[in-house]
Structure 1
């Protein structure tokens, strides 16, 4: 999937988000080493904070499809600027990330900022595999 196609697909999936409480829609995609991409959106509920972040949703979809490592994660939202995964999602990404896993945050204008998961979660915690 090209960067432009990914941007368009994430923007399209923002409409699937369920965010009646925060009104912030988030879509995410995760890519495994074999190139397969899995998508997720945030799903809020009244028992806040028991909802699901878009990144966690995408990781769950990947794991449910047998994908247990990530090389790239994309995040987009309805906010006017780029956003980054919350601390809990950074840990979730860390646990499945390959070394140097890229996290790409896409702003509504299509600009993309990139960091490694190591930069976003220095000294992250991982049990031996």
Structure 2
């Protein structure tokens, strides 16, 4: 799958977002190491702390289907503003992904920013730190 196709999948799932409070639709498309794609959208709750972010929903879908190796994730908002995963989502991704996970952020009209997870979340909290 091309980066453009991955961004398109993130855009497409935005229509399923439940965002009555912020009206800020986000979609994520997470690609496994062997090319399968799992998507997620944000789901808001009146108690904002119970809201689910698109990246979390995508990774939950992948993990519940037995997938644990990932190569890329595309993130897109309906505003095409180059949104990156928030800190909480970065940490969730770090639980299942290596620092070299490619993070593609949609800026609209074919323009993207690309990072690695390690660039977005240096000095990640890991299982080793819990010992």
Do these two structures clear the TM 0.5 threshold for a shared fold by scoring above it?
yes
Aligned-residue RMSD, C-alpha: 1.3
Quote the residue 1:33 is aligned against: 33
User: Displaced runs of 4+ in structure 1, greater than 4 A?
Assistant: none
Measured against aligned partners, the alpha-carbon deviations of 1:68-88 in whole angstroms (never above 9, x if no partner) come to 132211100012411100000
SS of match in other structure, 1:31? strand
Quote the residue 2:71 is aligned against: 71
Quote the residue 1:116 is aligned against: 116
Q: Does the aligned pair in 2 maintain the 1:14–1:25 contact within 8 Å?
A: yes
| Residues 38 and 46 of structure 1: CA distance in aligned 2, closer, same or farther (over 3 Å) | same
Which ranges of structure 1 fall in alignment gaps of 5 or more residues?
none
- The CA distance in 1 between the partners of 2:11 and 2:80, in whole Å, is 13
SS of match in other structure, 1:60? helix
Deviation (angstroms), 1:99: 4.2
Quote the residue 2:96 is aligned against: 96
- Between 1:28-37 and 1:88-97, the stretch displaced more is 28-37
Which ranges of structure 2 fall in alignment gaps of 5 or more residues?
none
- Between 1:87-96 and 1:63-72, the stretch displaced more is 63-72
TM-score w.r.t. length of structure 1: 0.92
Number of equivalences: 128
Question: By percentage of residues, which structure has more helix?
Answer: 2
- The CA distance in 2 between the partners of 1:83 and 1:4, in whole Å, is 16
